[in-house]
Protein backbone atom coordinates (compact mmCIF):
# COMPACT_ATOMS: atom_id res chain seq x y z
CA UNK A 1 0.00 0.00 0.00
CA UNK A 2 0.97 3.61 -0.18
CA UNK A 3 3.05 5.18 2.56
CA UNK A 4 0.37 7.88 2.72
CA UNK A 5 -1.65 6.41 5.56
CA UNK A 6 -4.45 8.78 6.54
CA UNK A 7 -4.35 10.21 10.04
CA UNK A 8 -6.54 8.71 12.75
CA UNK A 9 -8.41 12.02 12.91
CA UNK A 10 -9.44 11.52 9.26
CA UNK A 11 -10.32 7.87 9.85
CA UNK A 12 -12.16 8.09 13.20
CA UNK A 13 -15.54 9.20 11.79
CA UNK A 14 -15.53 6.44 9.16
CA UNK A 15 -17.11 2.97 9.23
CA UNK A 16 -15.84 0.14 11.44
CA UNK A 17 -14.49 -1.59 8.30
CA UNK A 18 -12.49 1.51 7.35
CA UNK A 19 -11.04 1.67 10.87
CA UNK A 20 -10.06 -1.99 10.65
CA UNK A 21 -8.26 -1.42 7.34
CA UNK A 22 -6.51 1.59 8.87
CA UNK A 23 -5.26 -0.65 11.71
CA UNK A 24 -4.06 -3.25 9.18
CA UNK A 25 -2.45 -0.66 6.88
CA UNK A 26 1.08 -2.09 6.99
CA UNK A 27 -0.12 -5.60 6.15
CA UNK A 28 -2.34 -4.62 3.19
CA UNK A 29 -0.91 -5.08 -0.29
CA UNK A 30 -2.12 -4.76 -3.86
CA UNK A 31 -1.40 -7.93 -5.84
CA UNK A 32 -2.57 -8.07 -9.46
CA UNK A 33 -4.92 -5.16 -8.80
CA UNK A 34 -6.64 -6.84 -5.84
CA UNK A 35 -6.34 -5.99 -2.16
CA UNK A 36 -4.74 -8.66 0.05
CA UNK A 37 -3.99 -8.90 3.75
CA UNK A 38 -0.79 -10.68 4.72
CA UNK A 39 0.41 -12.04 8.01
CA UNK A 40 3.38 -14.08 9.13
CA UNK A 41 3.34 -17.14 11.33
CA UNK A 42 4.52 -16.66 14.90
CA UNK A 43 7.90 -18.15 14.03
CA UNK A 44 8.22 -15.89 10.94
CA UNK A 45 8.82 -18.82 8.59
CA UNK A 46 5.63 -18.57 6.56
CA UNK A 47 3.35 -15.88 5.22
CA UNK A 48 -0.35 -16.24 4.42
CA UNK A 49 -2.31 -14.06 2.02
CA UNK A 50 -6.03 -13.33 2.25
CA UNK A 51 -7.92 -11.78 -0.65
CA UNK A 52 -10.13 -8.91 0.49
CA UNK A 53 -13.21 -8.83 -1.70
CA UNK A 54 -15.33 -5.75 -2.13
CA UNK A 55 -18.64 -6.33 -0.35
CA UNK A 56 -20.44 -6.12 -3.70
CA UNK A 57 -18.48 -9.15 -5.04
CA UNK A 58 -19.08 -11.55 -2.12
CA UNK A 59 -22.45 -12.90 -3.37
CA UNK A 60 -20.97 -13.49 -6.83
CA UNK A 61 -17.98 -15.43 -5.46
CA UNK A 62 -20.14 -17.51 -3.13
CA UNK A 63 -22.57 -18.24 -5.98
CA UNK A 64 -19.73 -19.29 -8.30
CA UNK A 65 -18.22 -21.51 -5.62
CA UNK A 66 -21.54 -23.09 -4.74
CA UNK A 67 -22.82 -23.52 -8.31
CA UNK A 68 -19.60 -24.74 -9.94
CA UNK A 69 -19.36 -28.32 -11.21
CA UNK A 70 -17.26 -29.27 -8.19
CA UNK A 71 -19.29 -27.08 -5.82
CA UNK A 72 -22.48 -29.04 -5.55
CA UNK A 73 -24.73 -28.54 -2.58
CA UNK A 74 -22.33 -28.99 0.30
CA UNK A 75 -24.03 -26.66 2.74
CA UNK A 76 -22.72 -23.51 4.35
CA UNK A 77 -19.53 -24.77 6.00
CA UNK A 78 -18.23 -26.74 3.02
CA UNK A 79 -19.08 -23.90 0.61
CA UNK A 80 -17.15 -21.45 2.81
CA UNK A 81 -14.23 -23.87 3.00
CA UNK A 82 -14.13 -24.24 -0.80
CA UNK A 83 -14.38 -20.45 -1.19
CA UNK A 84 -11.35 -19.99 1.06
CA UNK A 85 -9.34 -22.30 -1.20
Query: Phi/psi zone of residue 24: left (φ > 0), alpha (ψ -120 to 50 degrees), beta?
Result: alpha
Note whether 69 and 41 are same-domain residues.
no
Note whether 5 and 40 are same-domain residues.
yes
Note whether 24 and 45 are same-domain residues.
yes
> In the chain, how many H helices and how many E strands?
4, 3
Note whether 60 and 48 are same-domain residues.
no
Note whether 5 and 31 are same-domain residues.
yes
Q: What is the pLDDT of residues 53-79, one digit of tens each?
A: 888 988 888 788 777 666 555 666 676
Looking at the predicted structure, is the pLDDT value of residue 24 above 90? yes
pLDDT of residue 85: 67
Looking at the predicted structure, is the pLDDT value of residue 21 above 60? yes
What domain range includes position 69?
53-84
- Residue 65's CB is within 10 A of a number of other CB atoms, namely 19
Q: What is the mean pLDDT of the chain?
A: 83
Q: Could you tell me what percent of the chain has a pLDDT over 90?
A: 38
Tell me how many domains the chain contains.
2
Amino acid sequence: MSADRPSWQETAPESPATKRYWALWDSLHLKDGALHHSWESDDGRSCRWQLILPKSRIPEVLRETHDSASGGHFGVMKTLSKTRE
